Amino acid sequence: MALEIDLSGRVVLVTGGARGVGAGIVRTFQEAGAVVEICGRTSPGPEGDGPAPRFSQVDVREEEQVRRWVNEVAQRHGRIDVAVNNAGGGPFTGFASASPRFHRRITDLNFLSAVFVSQFVFPVMNAREEGGSVVNITSISARRPSPGTAVYGAAKAALESLTRSLAVEWAPRVRVNAVSCGLVETEGSADHYGGPEQQARVAATIPRGVFARPEEVGAACVLLASPLASHISGTVLNVDGGGEWPAFLQHAPGTEKLPGQAPV
């Protein structure tokens, strides 16, 4: 018997859903039949041939803007089934040289935005017998050193802690999980890493040897939001291709005997 995920009629919110990983998450939910609403600071351009998700201009770091958006969506559809806290990111910057204002904005974007969305969708989900699902997008940086993006990594670690706490506090109606991403290939990946050749060298540090596609992150979100995951809550699902090769393997004898290929 084949297992299928059909989210027809479900209403899904995705923050930062206009491009990159967020756009891949949106496309995957739409393929499962869901109605998707997205928000961001900048309106998205034309995106493929499929139906465009409804866009609202929202700065997710501003609680009143988030509250207004969630209330408008709930009034428009009469329900909210899934919220994906995807908005995030941060430039590579030395911790000591960055300003306190920079650190605050990184924390607001990567942690407090998810706090606001989650808090405002909870009463909408909890009021319905079938409840709802919150999926937080975190990062491999939450659980390993993140030099150059230290506050980003710390904010994602906080988000994983919040995920586990809310899964207990909001049970049984609202499930809360997280998807931890490794490196994901988006529109600007090659430029970010200095060109295709350098990107390939970076990809070689991933056991699977490739970056994730945004739709692969989306598939994990759809799974966690679906009835197939009805007894999964408080979980951090890794979508990272196996993580990262331990650095010592580059210099350890016997590496050539391993089935895979350690980076060089």
3-state helix, strand, coil in the chain (%, to 5): 40, 15, 40
Helix or strand run (H / E) with residue 30 = helix 20-31
How far, CA to CA in Å, does 35 sit from each of 77, 91, 94, 191?
A: 9, 32, 41, 33
Rounded Cα–Cα distance for residues 86 and 96 (Å): 27
Q: Examine residue 53 and say whether the peptide bond preceding it is cis (omega within 30 degrees of 0).
A: no
- Half-sphere exposure of 233 toward its Cβ, with a 13 Å CA cutoff? 19
At residue 146's C-alpha, the angle toward residues 141 and 147, to 5°, is: 165
User: How far from the centroid of its chain's Cα atoms is residue 257's Cα?
Assistant: 36
Catalytic residue among 29, 111, 120, 152: 152
152 is known as an active-site residue = yes
Closest by alpha carbon to 67, among 47, 171, 195, 75?
75
Interior/surface letters 12-51, b for 16+ CB within 10 angstroms, e for the rest: bbbbbbbbbbbbbbbbbbbebebbbbbbbeeebeeeeeee
Show which residues are catalytic: 152
